[in-house]
Structure 1
C-alpha cells in the first residue's frame, strides 16, 4: 500500500460541509431498517415509538442492506444518511476483548455507527458508505454477559494506566453513546448496570453533549471522555458535533452529576500552526474548567490515523477536510491491530509532535495527567 495524492477529476477542493448551528439535532430519522427479531423486541418497540413517522424497512440482517451499505451512490448524501437512517439489529456474538490502552476491556457494543459525521472516523469502513447508527435491541443479553464477565474478573489486582482500582470497560468503541441515548435507553441501561458493579467502570468517548445523561446518577462508575481538538479543526472535521467550547463547558456539570470526566485530545492533526492552536485550547481548558474537574482529570492523546479508501470516499462529500487529513509527505502505511492497512504519521514526525504537545500541556495545563499517547 502507498500514500497517493488526490485523484484528478474529483470534486473541487473548495467544497465544504457547512457547520451546523448549535440548535442542530443530529437525528432526523426518516427510515428505520430493521431485522424482524429486533423489530419485535421491547427495545425495538421503544425506538419505533420515538420515531413514529419513520418508514420501516424490513431487512434480513443489519450487516446486509445493499441499498444502504456498500452503495457508492450514497457518498453524495453522506451526512444525510447518518442523520436520516437508523438500523435495528440483534447482536449475536457477545465477547469482551482485552484492550489495555483506553480500557481494560472492550465491551460487546450496544450499537455501532454514528449520526455524527467526523471526516476521520474509521467506523464507516466496516460497513461502507456512511454507516448510520445501528442499535442492538437485545440489551438485556449484553448486560447479562457483562455482569458475568465482571464477576469472573474479581477485584482488580493492581493499578494500571486504565484505572487505579476498577476494571474499565469501553462501551462505545464503534459508536457515540451520548447520541445513542437519543435513540433509545441502551446507554442509560448500561450506566445503571455499572453503578451496581463495584469492581468495574464503564467508559465512553463523546463529541455530543447530551444533558439527558445528567439525570442517570452514575455514582462514579461511568467515565465520560470528552473528545477535544482546536475549534478551527473541529469546525472543519467534526461535522454535526457539539462545538468544542460547549464540550469543555459541560465537564463540570457531568462531574457534579456523578460521572468521572476525562478528555481525549483526539485526533491530533498536523498542519501549519497546529502548535499555537493546541496551546490556545489548553489555555482555555485551564481558564474554564473547575478545580474539581482538574483534580480528577486525565487525558489520552491520539494522533491522526487515516485510510486511503476513506480518503477517496471523503473526496466525494467533504474534500476540503482531506487537505488536512491526507498528507502523503508526512504519512506512511501502518498495519493496524485489526489487520487493516491505514496511514499514520511517520515515526519521526509523530515522535516530535508528541513531544511538542506534551510540552504544551506542561506549560498550559500542568494538572492534566496523560494516561497514554499513540
Structure 2
C-alpha cells in the first residue's frame, strides 16, 4: 500500500512531535522541504503526472500544518465535518472527488498539529451540549466526520492521528466520530473505541469494485471485517456507494446484499445502517482518468444518461439525469428492502 521514498515537508510540520514521528517511521525516505503542502509541482497540477498517478500515491508522502480549524455543519452523513488530520489518499478510486481540489495524484498529506486539532474538537463538542433531538445522523450523539478528505484506515499506516481521534471520542458521551473506508486495517481492532467511533465500510458489487476501487481492500474482505469491528467496539455501518448503473447492475447488487447477510452475525445486523449514494462524476477527473484508466470511464462517463450539476462549493459535476436517478434509486431501495430488510437506510441521494 505505502512505500514512501520521498517525504515533502513543511518545516513547521517537521518541527512538531507528530511530524518528527512520521519522519522517524520512514527513515530511508528522501526529505524535501516545501513552502506549502498545497503547492508541490511534482505532485499537483502537472498534467504529465497522470502517467505516474498510482506510483506517486505509493511512493510520496507529505507533511503539513492544518491552518484553518473549523467544524463545518453537514447534516447528511454527520452533523459536522471535523478539521482534517490528513488529506489525499494512498488508494486510487476512479470516481474520487478529492483529487479535484489538488489535481492529479494527491497522495497522503499528514497534518502534524494534531494537538491543536484535538483541542479545537474538544472545545467544539463541549459548546454543543447534549443533542436536543434525534436526526438522520444519530439518535443521541453529535456525529463528527473525521475523514472527509482521506481514508482514516490508510492514514493510520502513516501516523497516530486517527488513533488520537478515536481516543478523544472514546471519552465524549455526547459525540461520536465517523469515517468511511475502503481499506481493512486490523490494527484499529485494538483501539478500544467503546462505541464512540462509527466505521462506515464502503461496499459495491465485487466485479465493479475491481474496476473502479483501485488499490483498495477487496469487497469480500471488507464484508469479512464487519463482525470483527463490531465486536471490537466500533459502531459499524455501510456506505452503499457509489451506485453505478451498468448492465445487470441490480442483479449484482442483489448478490452483494445476500453476501452481506451471510457475512454478518445478528448482533452486527441489529446495529447496521446504510448510506446510499448514487454516482456523481466530474469532467476534469474524467479527462485525467482517460490518461491512466480509460476502462473505468466506460462505466463512469455516460453522457446519454447524465446531466450537469453544480455542487455546493461551485464545482461542475455530472450525475444521472433527474428523472432517471429517481427511478434508479427507487429500484435500488426496493431491492434493498426485499433482500436486506434489517438494513436501515439513514439517507439516500
TM-score by length of 1: 0.93
Establish whether residue 260 from structure 1 lines up as the match of residue 235 from structure 2. yes
**For residue 15 of structure 1, what is the aligned residue in structure 2?**
none
Per-residue CA shift, 1:33-54, capped at 9, x if unaligned? 0000111111111111111111
The root-mean-square deviation of aligned C-alpha atoms, in Å, is 0.6
Q: Which has the higher contact order (CA 8 A, sep 6+)?
A: 1
Structure 1: distance between partners of 2:57 and 2:205: 24
**For residue 34 of structure 2, what is the aligned residue in structure 1?**
59
Per-residue CA shift, 1:283-338, capped at 9, x if unaligned? 11112211111000000000010000100000000000000000000100001111
Shift of residue 138, structure 1, vs aligned partner: 0.3
Shift of residue 177, structure 1, vs aligned partner: 0.3
Establish whether residue 346 from structure 1 lines up as the match of residue 337 from structure 2. no
Q: Within 5 Å, which residues of 2 pair with 1:134-145?
A: 134-145=109-120
Structure 1: distance between partners of 2:314 and 2:328: 26
**For residue 71 of structure 1, what is the aligned residue in structure 2?**
46
**For residue 221 of structure 2, what is the aligned residue in structure 1?**
246
Give the total of aligned pairs: 349
Shift of residue 202, structure 1, vs aligned partner: 0.1
Matched position secondary structure for 2:303: coil
Query: What runs of 5+ residues in structure 1 fail to find an aligned partner?
Result: 1-25
**For residue 120 of structure 1, what is the aligned residue in structure 2?**
95
**For residue 200 of structure 2, what is the aligned residue in structure 1?**
225
Structure 2: distance between partners of 1:33 and 1:288: 41
Per-residue CA shift, 1:266-290, capped at 9, x if unaligned? 0000111100000000011112211
Structure 1: distance between partners of 2:296 and 2:137: 32
Give the one of 292, 297, 315 matched to 1:317.
292
Structure 2: distance between partners of 1:111 and 1:366: 36
Structure 2: distance between partners of 1:338 and 1:135: 24
Shift of residue 63, structure 1, vs aligned partner: 0.9
Shift of residue 76, structure 1, vs aligned partner: 0.4
TM-score by length of 2: 0.99
Structure 1: distance between partners of 2:263 and 2:29: 41
Establish whether residue 131 from structure 1 lines up as the match of residue 103 from structure 2. no
4+ residue segments displaced more than 6 Å: none
**For residue 81 of structure 1, what is the aligned residue in structure 2?**
56
**For residue 175 of structure 2, what is the aligned residue in structure 1?**
200
Shift of residue 83, structure 1, vs aligned partner: 1.0
Give the one of 149, 153, 156 matched to 2:124.
149
Q: Within 5 Å, which residues of 2 pair with 1:1-374?
A: 26-374=1-349
Structure 2: distance between partners of 1:336 and 1:160: 23
Per-residue CA shift, 1:53-112, capped at 9, x if unaligned? 111010001011112110111100101111111100000010000000000000001001
